[in-house]
Amino acid sequence: MEPILRISGLSHRYSSTWAIRDIDMEIYQNGIVGLLGSNGAGKSTTMNILCGVLTQTSGDVFINGVDLRKEPEKAKQFIGFLPQTPPLYTELTVDEYLTHCAILRSVEKENLKSALDEVKHRCGLSHISTRLIRNLSGGYRQRVGIAQAIIHRPKLVVLDEPTNGLDPNQILEVRGLIKEIAVEHAVILSTHILSEVQYLCKDIMMIEGGRIVFADTMEAFDSYVAPNSLLVVMEEAPSADTLSQLGGVARVEFLTERQIRIHFNGDKAVAERIVLASAQYGWRLSEIGMEKNSLNDTFAQLSKVSASKKIKI
Ligand SMILES: Nc1ncnc2c1ncn2[C@@H]1O[C@H](COP(=O)(O)OP(=O)(O)OP(=O)(O)O)[C@@H](O)[C@H]1O
């Protein structure tokens, strides 16, 4: 079966510096792949090449079996792209703008109305068809941005930091929409927010210094970022020495008089021991929660493991 996306040996150099090196990736089915990396890791370079905005120095990109370099127009029919700054014409109404995008995307004239109705329905825009884009909230603007990316029903939808700059409610709404979109399209979502990938994606590809440091399922990833510390709040906290004597505790760090980070090495029963000891000795435990590695720790950890460089989804 022909993959929806196949990237092999993709490398790009701006003047003398390599921005990305030897990236391989294959996507066979719908769902969301998270492209996670810190600033400058190479996400935008990769996505710009994928979407035909930038031509790679070397390597190949095939979209639905079509070579992006050899037949860019044909290959681009299969892609929808929402750049970090959505290309919205704010003086147009939602209908006017989406009609314009549909025409640019070669949607047949007789299918225009149905394409428009369908995309507005899917993106929750039907009730604001005649509103000017400039009067819409950030969340609705982003919905319009997503609508223009899927109006021609592409197989692959590429979203660059789609929740950037939105408030918490808008973030939830847009994430919900992305999940729905991913039922019918393969989606690549670029972000530097780990929790976003954990919430949305079934597969994850991490890029650092222009190279892939991890490519696998979210489940496999989670085992790399297993909790390794607990954050507890105790009104009558004992000394660090006392806490260190609990089985499985590796290190105790007092953040304030009451708030303590307790590091452990893989033994999750530590939490239970803390709760029991607190009840027994009257430490008045009021909060306890697992902490995961920070993204930076995870990157550092992953750079050390010999991660598979090929993702097949
Ligand atoms: N037009 C350019 N000219 C020269 N170097 C560039 C150019 N664009 C990006 N770079 C460099 O290429 C590397 C990868 O950048 P890229 O923008 O792809 O990373 P990113 O992961 O998308 O980061 P961000 O989240 O900050 O956009 C960085 O070192 C960056 O400085």
* 40-97 pLDDT per residue, tens: 889 999 999 999 889 999 999 999 999 999 999 999 999 999 988 888 899 999 999 9
Q: Is 163 a residue whose pLDDT tops 60? A: yes
Mean pLDDT of 131-142: 93
pLDDT tens, position by position, 17-43: 999 999 999 999 999 999 998 888 899
Q: Give the ligand 1 atom nearest the CA of 20.
A: 14
Mean pLDDT of 138-151: 93
The answer, yes or no, to whether any atom of ligand 1 lies below 6 A from the CB of 34, is no
pTM: 0.76
Confidence of residue 293 (pLDDT cuts 50, 70, 90): low
The answer, yes or no, to whether any atom of ligand 1 lies below 6 A from the CB of 83, is no
Q: Whose CA is nearest to atom 11 of ligand 1?
A: 19
Pocket residue to mutate for ligand 1, from 14, 163, 205, 207, most atoms within 8 A of Cβ: 14
pLDDT tens, position by position, 223-253: 666 667 889 999 999 999 999 999 999 999 9
Mean pLDDT of 109-115: 93
Q: Whose CA is nearest to atom 28 of ligand 1?
A: 40
Q: Give the ligand 1 atom nearest the CA of 192.
A: 25
Task: Quote the mean pLDDT of the chain.
Answer: 89
Q: 228 with 249: CB under 8 angstroms?
A: no
Mean pLDDT of 256-285: 91
Q: Give the ligand 1 atom nearest the CA of 48.
A: 18
User: Which pLDDT does position 13 carry in this prediction?
Assistant: 95
Pocket residue to mutate for ligand 1, from 11, 36, 38, 45, most atoms within 8 A of Cβ: 45
Q: Is 292 a residue whose pLDDT tops 80? A: no
Domains of the chain in start order, with CATH, are 5-224+300-304 (3.40.50.300), 229-291 (3.30.70)
| Lowest-pLDDT range of 28-37, 126-135, 289-298 | 289-298
The answer, yes or no, to whether any atom of ligand 1 lies below 6 A from the CB of 42, is yes
The answer, yes or no, to whether any atom of ligand 1 lies below 6 A from the CB of 14, is yes
